[in-house]
Structures are given as structure tokens and as C-alpha cells.
Chain A
Amino acid sequence: MFGATSAIAEQVARLYAAKGARIFLAGRQRERLDTIAQDLQVRGASAVSTYGVDFDDVAAFGPMVEACGSPDRTLIAYGTLPDQQGAEGSADLTAKALLTNFTSPAVLLNLLADRLHSGAAVAVITSVAGERGRQSNYVYGAAKGGLSRFLEGLRHRLAPKGIRVIDVRPGFVDTPMTDGMDKKGPLWAKPERVARDIEKALERRDGPIHTPWFWWGIMAIITRVPARIFHKTKL
């Protein structure tokens, strides 16, 4: 689990703990990692190790990937939700958003890819926001969209080796990352729900998935709206 303190990763980890898995948790907040590790241990994980890392520091990835060995299942779940308007006026914010949400996972995936064995599966959380650039969050959307394209290529590369690459595209999920938003309405999903979809995909799927599934339909429409109509919306 890379980004193990993320709400979705934590729920996925619980599903694997219940199956008695050995789990490697990498994340920035040491104390939270320890809390989560204890919890997973109680829930049935046969071993849990933690690794403190700042995912913006891509130079530090070598030893981390070394420490995690050759995982059967990998989830990359870190990311930030940058303030779009802030980023529009700030080179720093834009660069940082792209670093955390695109460059960093891309670097990590390339390092990891060499260590994976046949039958392994990697899931990476991208976003429905990556499927069409929109004025309200195209910096985040571009990073996630770029990551989706990266995964597409990686999948192409690893498929002959029997390694599956899953691009997880959640819609609105009720996690600390989205605490600033109004969470009313039927489109919001709980992280437990999204975690179940991810676990299922890690066990049998390949390619992109939407979670909850209905986002597939929503995005099919949104990506097909002609620009002259799309540009009139505030999306």
C-alpha cells in the first residue's frame, strides 16, 4: 500500500488483512501508520510493516521499493486535491500538484514494474477527473489523466508477463481529501464501497474500472458532449 493512510487504501488493507495477508504500508504520517498497522494486525494480517516516506521525494524511492520486496498485490493510493484557482496563478502549486499526482506515481511504477512476478496485480487510483479537462480542476485532471495514459502503456508492457495493471477511477468518495465539499446527494460513495470494488479488481480484472460502476455511464456522456456545448457549462 503506497499512500496507506488514505481512507480508501486503509479500507482495502482491511479486506486483505481479513484474508491473513502480509502487508507493507508506506506513507508520510508515522503515527497514523502505526495505528493502522496495529488495527490490521488485530483484523488478521499475518504481518504488517510500515515505511515512512514523503512521496514528493522521488529520489528516496529506491530503498522503499527494495523494502517492499515483490508484492502480489499493489495499491498506489496517494494524491492531493490541489486548489485549481490557486494553481492557475502559481507555478509552484502547479508543479507540486503534477509532481505528487503524476510524476511521483509514474517514477514509483517504473521502479516497481521490474520487481513484479507473473500473476501480480497493481491498482492505481486515478480519477474520473482525468477523463476530460474541465475549467474547474484541469491541473488535477491532467495529472490523473496523464497517469491513466501511463498505466495504459505499462499495462501493454506487462501484459505479456502475466501482470495486470488496473486503473481505478473513483467518482466522489467521502474521505478526508474531499472534506471541503458538500457531500449530499446520491453520487457520493463511502470508501468501504470503493475498496470492495478495488479488491475485486485486484483479484480478477485488468484495465480501467469505474467505482461505483455508474460513473462509467456518467463519464461516457461527459466525454462525448461537444465542446461548443461543454464550454457553456460551469463543470
Chain B
Amino acid sequence: MAICKNCGVELEEVMLSCPLCGEPVAGSGESGTSRQTTPAGEPAFQPRAEMSQPQKKFTWEIISIILLSGLIATFIVDFVINQTITWSEYPVAISLTIFAYISLFAFWQQPTLLQIAGSLALSIVFLLLLDLLTNGISWSVGLGIPLLLAANLVAAGLIGVIYRSKYKGINLLAWGFLGAAFLCLCIEGILVRFMTGTFRFGWSLIVCGSVIPVALVLFFVHLRLKKGRSLEKTFHM
């Protein structure tokens, strides 16, 4: 009979490693690095269904070509009509932002939130450079970067909620509504601030007022519907 040198328990002759701690039995040929065995009954790790690296590269190439061709065409049209760069700055800025995001998501193997943060940083650099190269720093700091930051915050928040939700259903729709309402508030606040120098909210408050009750109803329905559970356990007194 073999004895586990870690737990001191008795192992069957056929066991190559201790089922309690994964310590390999002396002479079984298992390396120390493969100690973590999956105990009986424990679900094995299920990898997420993701694109393979060649698939990611191919997708990135297609999107990049579309963005680049659009970008060049926009620039040329604007330049031909106005003899300088004017309105085309904005579609170009959007194209550069999308490019920054897809590039990091395609080639930077990191957790999603880190990828978002990296993409945000890269986009900010692109926007600043574009703004600087056209008419000097004008719209990027006051408008482009705050809008980008708000959109990223909402996206990161929604990803976090989706990740943490044990039961994914109508609740995600409700969170999406709340995220959109918050983004509307941010957009109006940033736009008004950029144009008038003050903070004022109008249409975005109406959006929030309409969306919040809808979201609450969706949450309620979700709690009611999920796997036939009642609300009693959450609200029991």
C-alpha cells in the first residue's frame, strides 16, 4: 500500500496520485506540476467558446480594411470639397477608436476589463494625435475623451453585471436599459458642457424617467420568472 506523503492517507495500488491533495505517488512518474487532479464528481473546467487566433486575425484584417478605405474616402471627399480637413475629423476619430479596440481585442490576450482599459488608452492617444495634427487640440479633451470614457464605463459595468449574474435573462435587458440611460445622461452633460461651458440636463432626464420604471418592471419579472422561484426568499421577513 502506498502512503501519501502530504496527507498521510493510504492509497490504492492503482492510484498514481492522492485523490485528496493530488500529490503524486513516489515513482508514479507524475510531475509535480500536474498535481491538481480533478476530483471525482467535480466538474472539469469548461473553456469559453471563443474565436481561434487565425479567426481573430482574419476578422481584424477585414474590419481594418473597411475602416481604412472609409477613412481615406472621407478625408479625400472633405479635402476636395473644403480644401482642408473639417467634418471628416469626426468619422475618422470614430474609425480610429474602433480600430484601437478591435486591434487590442484581437491580439492582446488579457482579461476583458484590461482589454477595455488598454483600448481606451490607445484610442485616447489616437484622438489626441488626430486633433493635434488637424487644428490643434480643440475637441478631443473636452468632448471625445470624456464621451469615450463614459461609454467604456458603461460597457465595463455591463460586462461585470453579465459576468456576475447567476441567472441570465430579462435582468440583462434591464441592466442594458439602465446603462443606456446613464450613457444618455453622460452624453448630454458632456455635450452641453463642451458647447456652453455649464452642466445642464434636459432630454436625458426624460430618457431616464422613462427607462427606470421599465427596468424595474423587468427586474421584477425576471425575479418572478427565473426557474419558477418566488420572491419570498429574498424579501422574507
Query: Bound pair: A and B?
Result: no
Using CB atoms and an 8 Å cutoff, list the residues of chain B in contact with chain A: none
Using CB atoms and an 8 Å cutoff, list the residues of chain A in contact with chain B: none
